[in-house]
Amino acid sequence: MREKISLYLDLIRWNRPAGWLLLLWPTLSALWVAADGFPGWHLMVVFTLGTILMRSAGCCLNDVADRDFDKHVKRTAERPVTSGRIGVKEALLLGAVLALLAFGLVLTLRTETIAWSFAAMAVAIAYPFAKRYVSMPQAVLGVAFSFGIPMAFAAVTGQVPWQAWALLVGNLFWVLAYDTEYAMVDRDDDLKIGMKTSAITLGQWDVWAIMGFYAAFVGVWAWVLDAPSKPLLMLGLAAAALQAAWHFVLIKDRTRDGCFKAFRLNHWVGFAAFAGVALSYL
């Protein structure tokens, strides 16, 4: 049983919290903006636990969908489903249980949030298969990883104003930046197996495109949130921008280690932006 639990934890990337932190920071930022300050413990707990559960469920689905591709990629060949240590049905069952637990949390929120959760689920399910047909599947992931923003506004106000969609678009650029860094790690393997990624599509322009994505993320959020009038928010976004500039140093030579390190550090970019948002409401 201990070994089985260890495999389940490996499947949901429990020892790699950076994945769910990438989802959490923009969601919490949206909660603060929608609530004009601290949103209350109920919403904090629901969205934090829901983020962890849905990211874990997404890992189960993703590993099942990619099991025949992952065996040809050095970094993913030993994942539990790919290596056969966890069966397909078993992984899907675990993912379904986690998704149902997350939906149970959503049921404690407004009806509007419940309705938007179905759209979020649809995008999340579509992403693992987009890598076969879409030249930049990271854009699909960007929508999936940003859907906590409109859901947060719906949970607080019952509406999804234009600011929520604008923040989603800005966050989508951030996802494009860090997931392209991630894709650069596996580019050689992905070319061999015919997988489509933004790193392959962008080719020699990958590094500069990533820098442009970071700039678009910071710029859109600064505009939507009126950062020039909020010094602490401006400070948080400036800290995010400085980290993005450091990522240029890490990825400019396109080494696996440098690109993977840049990807793993991205949750600090999101934290800097969230800290700026939260502090601006003190």
Over the stretch 172-209, which tens digit does the pLDDT of each residue have?
999 999 999 999 998 988 888 888 899 999 999 999 99
pLDDT at residue 67, as a whole number: 85
| Structure tokens that stand for 273 in this block | 């932006």
**Domains assigned to the chain:** 2-279 (1.10.357.140)
Q: What is the pLDDT of residue 170?
A: 98
Position 256 scores a pLDDT of: 93
Q: At residue 117, what is the residue type?
A: S
pLDDT score of 201: 93
Nearest in space to 110 (alpha carbons), one of 159, 59, 48, 171: 159
Burial bucket for residue 177 (CB in 10 Å: 0-12, 13-18, 19+)? buried
**Cα 71–Cα 73–Cα 250 angle in degrees, nearest 5:** 155
Q: Which residues of the chain have pLDDT under 70?
A: none
Measured CA distances, 168 to 1, 20, 230 (Å): 41, 17, 20
pLDDT score of 188: 87
Q: In the prediction, which pLDDT does 192 show?
A: 83
pLDDT by residue (tens digit) across 92-115?
999 999 999 999 999 999 999 999
Instruction: Say how far residue 89 (Cα) sits from the centre of its chain.
Output: 25
Angle at 69 (CA atoms; ends 193, 11), nearest 5 degrees: 150
Report pLDDT for 195.
82
